[in-house]
Structure 1
């Protein structure tokens, strides 16, 4: 005799499944029977589920393929432990004798760039080889090289260190793109040149690179001092943020209160101003505050124990008016640094301020919606490398039937 559960229509099953606490519960539910699996892996259902449920913080990835999984008592710890066992974060599944370094992570996918050997730097190309991979399912896509015509379009690239002046990163997919297929992805490559900026875009749907945006530093409305500083700073050490279809880079660490902005809808560079505050050098984070308004988390002055949250009063990518929303009091006697930010979480480090050696206490995540602070991982020493938060399980690059 058929179970009463199997007689529930699919649309009611979908409504029930939407109310499951997290994606791990959805995975377990999908394994119960064929009908549950069919509903739980439907593309339209998964899009609804992901809009309603914040993705899990599964850990963070550091230089050299070092994955730090989220530790107990964090609720994501069991899933993070399973990911650490199953995934290959040394990327040994890519059939290449070269070494790859992590450039960006988004939705569980990792963007890699090929390291150059010392003897290659003298004749280094403008752009390095890139690959997008799925370390969980051990699948990858090698991106074609940027064509010579596009490389030749750069105005005055920095000599000898040209690859270091080009920074690639993954682009979040819009709802229409996600609806077209979860195997799709886009990569943007921004080149910092002596006199100008340029952006190139690779789309997995076309399999080609295209020139997307170009702007002279002198056309960004900057003063001479700001223009000289912003064009000279190494792009790898700039903090990058994403909100409402725009990427932002900040120069807070260098005392500048300007943001470089790339609108991925118009594909245009511009400059935006930070709110008039004495921002600390320990980092800021630009997030989506809701209703099309930007939010900024940051520390002020020399202290780093009170985290401030400001929200723009007006909508748009370059608001002019801001209001203080909340001040989050953190433990006194410690220094906090913003190491990374995603669309939903901040990744903070906590360091003892009273000790001369400043030992690292741990890494913490903060939900930008609930402001809940949770310990993610303990690391014995502070490592000043790029830190990429690993969020959610990746959709496979070759098959969209994954949760």
Structure 2
């Protein structure tokens, strides 16, 4: 006699559901019955599912809150359209929402800051909030204590002031299990030094965790002068294997700044040998403890180079070219963003190669770091997406909690 699917043991159902090709298929299965829903929404199952399946690319969010969903024929387009209809990207559920500005996005959660002192000098540390625009929940972070920030050099008149940049820290395995956990780092960039402050929702407190003088980073005088005067607002930030990276390729430097989140230390590493184009690079996790880097070699090269290095120590070592990805000839590509799983490119028309003023946008594309598959994600004439944050994955399930 035929048996009901609900008679199948839970561990076998889990193995079946893990093999569903797309998260939307899992959502449909969870709607079939109570048993399926309980399994599909279980935290440990969802963590396994997310490890096996690439997160959906849902769109791009600008600092002011304008959201552009991924467009067809990309497979994430239906989910992206549904998110655009369901989520509140005006952040109207947060008090004084019109003053908040997007600073970072990670796994569907958005980090915002605000400055209510219009027309006056901005404070070194602004108000911060972590929010979930889909479920309209938020947590206002406590201010950075004055005694923690007292070590920062005081900005003198006519001298470059302290610049701060907040960003979210990817959650570890244990933090993902607790789902409501989040960590925020504020990086303070001064003329003579760097400092990092971290907030953890598990303690509800800020800590000063890292500090380093530019003169202590084993830099040449030229590199030190160049790097210390470029604040973190205009540097591309990368994350891989517990480390944040900042690169100065756009400014002609072959150095990387590292912040190891395990021991909270700053250090400097070298880029792979060779001439790297100013059209951007991206650092990603290549698997097997290897660090991957995408970039364009030389001034006119159109092919994308993928270089890997072992990363078991503090700095990458033994760089070697893994693959060269041939892109359409006659077009110019720019690396605009990268996540732990995806690289994002803009593509401009062939005419822009001869006349930079005729820079017609062809589209926005993603490359899956594991499969190296190139897909179009957006194709309308919206250049602002060069300044937008990629929105990847839905936030962790928060339906059973009142706040993040």
TM-score w.r.t. the length of structure 2 is: 0.94
Shift, 1:398, TM fit: 6.7
Equivalent residue for 1:311, pick from 304, 308, 326 = 308
State the distance in 2 between where 1:87 and 1:220 align.
Answer: 44
DSSP-derived class of the 1:120 partner: coil
How many equivalent pairs are there?
A: 398
The Cα offsets for residues 45-67 of structure 1, whole Å up to 9 and x where unpaired, read as 11111111110111111232111
The Cα offsets for residues 336-358 of structure 1, whole Å up to 9 and x where unpaired, read as 11111000001110011314311
Shift, 1:381, TM fit: 4.2
Shift, 1:384, TM fit: 7.1
Of the structure 1 ranges 92-101 and 132-141, higher mean CA displacement relative to structure 2 is found in: 92-101
State the distance in 2 between where 1:110 and 1:353 align.
Answer: 36
Match of 1:139 in 2: 137
Match of 1:377 in 2: 378
Matched, 1:99 2:99: yes
Match of 1:335 in 2: 332
DSSP-derived class of the 1:71 partner: coil
Match of 2:210 in 1: 213
Shift, 1:400, TM fit: 6.6
The Cα offsets for residues 30-79 of structure 1, whole Å up to 9 and x where unpaired, read as 11111111111111111111111110111111232111111111111110
State the distance in 2 between where 1:211 and 1:150 align.
Answer: 6
Shift, 1:316, TM fit: 3.3
Aligned runs of 1:179-218 on 2, under 5 Å? Answer: 179=177, 181-218=178-215
RMSD value, Cα: 2.1
State the distance in 2 between where 1:237 and 1:36 align.
Answer: 46
Alpha-carbon distance change, 71 to 106 in structure 1, aligned in 2, over 3 angstroms: same
Match of 1:177 in 2: 175
Alpha-carbon distance change, 161 to 190 in structure 1, aligned in 2, over 3 angstroms: farther
Alpha-carbon distance change, 174 to 313 in structure 1, aligned in 2, over 3 angstroms: closer
Task: Say if 2:186 and 2:197, in contact at 8 Å, map to a contact too.
Answer: yes
State the distance in 1 between where 2:159 and 2:27 align.
Answer: 46
Match of 1:38 in 2: 38
Alpha-carbon distance change, 167 to 197 in structure 1, aligned in 2, over 3 angstroms: same
Task: Say if 1:107 and 1:392, in contact at 8 Å, map to a contact too.
Answer: yes
Shift, 1:164, TM fit: 7.2
Shift, 1:22, TM fit: 1.7
State the distance in 1 between where 2:207 and 2:363 align.
Answer: 42
Match of 2:364 in 1: 363
DSSP-derived class of the 1:302 partner: coil
Alpha-carbon distance change, 160 to 68 in structure 1, aligned in 2, over 3 angstroms: farther
Matched, 1:243 2:244: no
State the distance in 2 between where 1:41 and 1:384 align.
Answer: 33
Matched, 1:392 2:390: no
Equivalent residue for 1:154, pick from 152, 155, 160 = 152
State the distance in 1 between where 2:318 and 2:17 align.
Answer: 41
The Cα offsets for residues 263-286 of structure 1, whole Å up to 9 and x where unpaired, read as 000000000110111000010000
Alpha-carbon distance change, 162 to 130 in structure 1, aligned in 2, over 3 angstroms: farther
State the distance in 2 between where 1:298 and 1:316 align.
Answer: 23
State the distance in 1 between where 2:159 and 2:140 align.
Answer: 23
Alpha-carbon distance change, 43 to 396 in structure 1, aligned in 2, over 3 angstroms: closer
Equivalent residue for 1:350, pick from 339, 347, 353 = 347
Alpha-carbon distance change, 57 to 317 in structure 1, aligned in 2, over 3 angstroms: farther
Aligned runs of 1:70-89 on 2, under 5 Å? Answer: 70-89=70-89
Matched, 1:168 2:169: no
TM-score w.r.t. the length of structure 1 is: 0.94
Task: Say if 1:239 and 1:250, in contact at 8 Å, map to a contact too.
Answer: yes
Task: Say if 2:285 and 2:291, in contact at 8 Å, map to a contact too.
Answer: yes
Matched, 1:321 2:322: no
Task: Say if 1:183 and 1:399, in contact at 8 Å, map to a contact too.
Answer: no
Match of 1:69 in 2: 69
Alpha-carbon distance change, 369 to 97 in structure 1, aligned in 2, over 3 angstroms: closer
Structure 2 gap ranges (5+): none
DSSP-derived class of the 1:324 partner: strand
Matched, 1:16 2:16: yes
Matched, 1:7 2:7: yes
Shift, 1:120, TM fit: 2.4
